[in-house]
Amino acid sequence: MNARLDLFAAHAKHPCQSGRPTSRIPQPLVRPTREQAHEALRTLLAWIGEDPTREGLRETPDRVLRAYGEYFGGYGQDPTELLQKSFEELDGYSGPVVVRDIEVHSHCEHHMVPFTGRAHVAYLPNARVVGLSKLARLVDAFSHRLQIQERLTAQIANAIHDALAPRAVAVVVACEHQCMATRGVKKRGAMTLTTQCLGLWQDDAAARAEILRQLED
């Protein structure tokens, strides 16, 4: 059983640690089979003091695996591909593109419990823009992995910067972490705010203050 649990843990700690997006999604060295993951979940149920054979829990490992397929679907996506299709027909537009209140649903890599909130994304186009829905998909691709909020914020900003070469990028993420709300200090309602600015909005304090006002108001 310990070997199976080790395999399950190895898969859960998928080695996507870089703050910069890569051209491919790194693969674990040893990926357990579904049967091994199923057995690992039965072991965890037994470890917490439950009977995995009782009626209410017999199908729980299958349900958890299906849920994990949704929660961590970002490992099957290459975020850089989402921004490959862009457009040049700006007709002289020179202002920022701002998308606020993109829902964030992610899981803390330290305790594997959810953190949820909103992401606000802005960029100042140089020559190209991307479809607005692609920004929401980008947030999903990075958030549907085991994460820390700081890295999530940086990954979103870096991906936009690398794909579109804009004059500036700003990303603000505000989330409540269940690892803080339901365990440990148990402080519900505490929001964590992280910010990443690149380009002009990193270098120019006045411009940065203005765009952050638009994102945070």
- Of 16, 108, 175, 197, which is the active-site residue? 108
Q: Pick the catalytic residue: 147, 149, 155, 196?
A: 149
Among residues 84, 110, 210, 216, the one annotated as catalytic is 110
Q: Is 77 a catalytic site residue?
A: no
Is 149 in the active site?
yes
Active-site residue, from 147, 177, 196, 197 = 177
Calculated CA dihedral for residues 3, 16, 109, 156, nearest 10 degrees: -160
175 among known catalytic residues = no
16 is known as an active-site residue: no
Q: Which of 36, 105, 111, 178 is catalytic?
A: 111
| Catalytic, out of 36, 77, 81, 109 | 109
In order of 51, 161, 186, the CA distances from 103 in angstroms are 36, 21, 23
| Active-site residue identified among 176, 178, 179, 202 | 179
> Does the annotation mark 38 as catalytic?
no
The set of catalytic residues is 108-111, 149, 177, 179
